[in-house]
Structure 1
Amino acid sequence: MTVEGPDSPLAFLRARSGIILLVGLASGVGLLVWALIAPSGAVGAGWAIGLVFWLSIALGSMGLLAIHAVTGGRLRAVLWPAVAPAAASLPAFGLLMLPLLAAVPLIYPWYMDPSRAGHPDVVSLYLNLPGFAARSALAIIGWSVIALVLLGRRPHPLFGIFGLLFYLVMITIIGVDWVLSVEPRFRSSDYGGLLFVTQLLAALAWTATLRTAPPGRAGAAGDLGAMMLAAALGAAYLGFVQYLVIWYGDLPSKAEWFILRWSPGWVWLEGVSLALSVFLPFGALLARQIRQSPAALMHIGACVLAGILAHYIWFIAPPHGFAALPAAALGVLAVGGLWMGLAYGPIAARLVPVSHAEETAHGG
């Protein structure tokens, strides 16, 4: 069994889950207070950013469990303490997304002005509140069921393949609904793939940050570092391809999207994102000594998570102005506190630990 040290971040989460939950509640109240000062759309965007960020870790964790069901390997015992509670918490996002549904008229311009979508049929047939809510519910329910099966002792490899396919299809749909439809005229054919890889990277970085790899198992830490490096490069490649296709297309709606985000202030946010989530892991994790150090991976993982968060803010916040930045901070604390308090408190307590013998049985 992977046993975390008493001073590890994972042990802290488990021991302080109740306090973390209260921090989440207090931050939610703070977000409501900010709504009295800031534009309501900015406040809604703040909750959306927090929801998308923490859901990325939970979904990426489910994806890692699905990949392990297909491939086997020795990483299960190292991943389990971090990813199992995260994946098991997916049903909680059914409640956490309710404020997002309530804030749809404030966040997404297609609700109040269908012409913003570029074509009336897009709103009447797809971008409407009932469809938005139904697709969101289907995704959360489907992901929750898949996670429940994958958390079993020996999930079948074919189910792992099915889980990955469902995950990719639904995250493509939810990515359009929750993220891209902030500016509904913008289209990106590979955003679902980019979101998929980014979420796997987020789950790996989360595992590294919680320091679940014991100091005595350099091989397991090295494997985790190598997977982080591969996911970071994959996300960077897909992001570059997206930009290249849009640049060659030179369409006004897509140019407008980038002009806003490359304006002063916002462009630096994406620069920070690239530095933390791409260049840092690429430069550091090539070194074997760093890749095999759980302490180094913990710090790199935290930086990668900060970079991913900056990227989500860069995608969602600009249409709502800089007032969305404090709202994003409060939204991340609110959703994160509620999620971590539940996932690593009562949910983690109900999960069966994975022993090294079981890891070997899974192909390690």
Structure 2
Amino acid sequence: MTGEEPDTPLAFLRARSGIILFVGLASGIGLLVWALIAPSGAVGAGWAIGLVFWLSIALGSMGLLAMHAVTGGRWRGTLWPAVAPAAASLPAFGLLALPLLAAVPLIYPWFTDPSQAGHLEVVSLYLNLPGFAARSALAIIGWSVIALVLLGRRPHPLFGIFGLLFYLVMITIIGVDWVLSVEPRFRSSDYGGLLFVTQLLAALAWAAALRTAPAGHAGAAGDLGAMMLAAALGAAYLGFVQYLVIWYGDLPSKAEWFILRWSPGWVWLEGISLALSVFLPFGALLARRIRQSPTALMHIGACVLAGILAHYIWFIAPPHGFAALAAAVLGVLAVGGLWVGLAYGPIAARLVSVSHAGEAVHGG
């Protein structure tokens, strides 16, 4: 599969990459103007939401390539047109993360009020801007190098294992820094695993939404559908375990975190997230006919992505008020437009498809 059908969303992205890049740039400028006129945590949270969402697809794509290096299988050829450019573009997040660093004083309360972390030594030793920046740089550089190696011809299974371990360790750290430290008193030992599986689901849903499985190839679509179902169940299980542990612990700091997110307005976001990213794929993908239909997978994949986005908004936005919802729209358009325009534009797409066409045909 070196090319794609002319009427697929993937073909649309490649044909309109310049326009998409312009939309991203315009949205980014809009968010910047907002920040200059009325600086607030909502603006920074909007960029953080967009960054975390689109990075999930790129990182999940790298994770899938690492899994294939370990297990092998024909499914790599099906996913390749979507996940290869996504993984190859990971270095771009080094630049896309710079606005997040600039907005740290607006987004994260530990910067201006260290006492909100609960323990001052936590701020002095861990939650500080130099450490935040250094960990972010290490993660993005490491992920980028791993992705580029995995995009080569037949990466060694041991490297795939190393890539998965590094991915899991660093996403646990970045999940605390970028997401959980919005409310630094809240801690979850399960969040890294949940984020890991959610990102794999995001990458699979992205491939499904771009309709990389060709029409008439029920086996290829069936593989993708089965993997989406497994990832959705895994994310649901880890999310339930996280909630159960927090509920059983009954700690005030964690109760406060949930009380805010269960308030009117915010609770509906998580309801939408569960409906779109858990119940829909679970209910629909159990049916073999739907699981093997590229068109059905395309619609389900788009819904799953919307559900994952709603989940990230539910995690990050509430401390900054409902204005963060409007900022999130701009942030998703800005980061997404810039990333998609680069990842699926003529340069990156040609780099991946030409250099590794043989790998895509044979599935690794």
With normalisation by structure 2, the TM-score equals 0.97
Matched, 1:171 2:168: no
* 1:203 aligned residue: 203
* 1:27 aligned residue: 27
1:277-292 paired onto structure 2 within 5 Å: 277-292=277-292
Give distance in 2, aligned partners of 1:197 and 1:360. Answer: 24
Deviations 1:142-199 (A, max 9, x none): 0000000000011000000000000000000000000000000000001000000000
Give distance in 2, aligned partners of 1:140 and 1:60. Answer: 13
Give distance in 2, aligned partners of 1:284 and 1:262. Answer: 28
Deviations 1:323-355 (A, max 9, x none): 000000000000000000000014433434389
Deviations 1:29-56 (A, max 9, x none): 1212333665511000000000000000
Give distance in 1, aligned partners of 2:305 and 2:360. Answer: 30
Give distance in 2, aligned partners of 1:316 and 1:245. Answer: 20
Change (3 A) 1:306 1:65: same
CA contact (8 A) 2:2 2:361 kept: no
Deviations 1:10-43 (A, max 9, x none): 0011111111000000011121233366551100
Matched, 1:341 2:341: yes
Deviations 1:212-263 (A, max 9, x none): 1101211010010000000000000000000000000000000000000000
CA contact (8 A) 1:201 1:232 kept: yes
Change (3 A) 1:362 1:173: farther
Give distance in 1, aligned partners of 2:201 and 2:92. Answer: 22
CA contact (8 A) 1:2 1:355 kept: no
Report the secondary structure of 2:351's partner residue.
Answer: coil
CA contact (8 A) 1:89 1:347 kept: no
CA contact (8 A) 2:27 2:334 kept: yes
Change (3 A) 1:217 1:354: farther
CA contact (8 A) 1:60 1:203 kept: yes
CA contact (8 A) 2:51 2:96 kept: yes
Residue 318 of structure 1 and its aligned partner are, at CA, apart by 0.1
Change (3 A) 1:9 1:362: closer
CA contact (8 A) 1:60 1:196 kept: yes
* 1:36 aligned residue: 36
CA contact (8 A) 2:75 2:363 kept: no
Residue 290 of structure 1 and its aligned partner are, at CA, apart by 0.2
The number of residue pairs the alignment matches comes to: 364
CA contact (8 A) 2:9 2:209 kept: yes
Give distance in 2, aligned partners of 1:351 and 1:360. Answer: 13
Change (3 A) 1:248 1:80: same
Report the secondary structure of 1:153's partner residue.
Answer: coil
Change (3 A) 1:259 1:5: same
- Identify the range of structure 1 (342-351 vs 33-42) with the bigger mean alpha-carbon deviation: 33-42
CA contact (8 A) 2:153 2:359 kept: no
CA contact (8 A) 1:69 1:157 kept: yes
Report the secondary structure of 1:275's partner residue.
Answer: helix
Deviations 1:99-143 (A, max 9, x none): 000000000000000000000000000000000000000000000
CA contact (8 A) 1:70 1:157 kept: yes
Deviations 1:276-300 (A, max 9, x none): 0000000000000000000000000
CA contact (8 A) 1:75 1:359 kept: no
Runs (5+) with no aligned partner, structure 1: none
Report the secondary structure of 1:73's partner residue.
Answer: coil
Runs (5+) with no aligned partner, structure 2: none
* 1:126 aligned residue: 126
Give distance in 1, aligned partners of 2:54 and 2:173. Answer: 18
* 2:152 aligned residue: 152
Residue 357 of structure 1 and its aligned partner are, at CA, apart by 9.6
Q: 4+ runs of 1 displaced by more than 4 Å?
A: 36-39, 354-364
CA contact (8 A) 1:205 1:301 kept: yes
Cα RMSD of the aligned pairs, angstroms, is 1.7
CA contact (8 A) 1:74 1:359 kept: no
CA contact (8 A) 1:61 1:87 kept: yes
The share of aligned pairs that are identical, in percent, is 92
Give distance in 2, aligned partners of 1:171 and 1:357. Answer: 30
CA contact (8 A) 2:152 2:356 kept: no
Give distance in 2, aligned partners of 1:354 and 1:188. Answer: 43
CA contact (8 A) 1:18 1:341 kept: yes
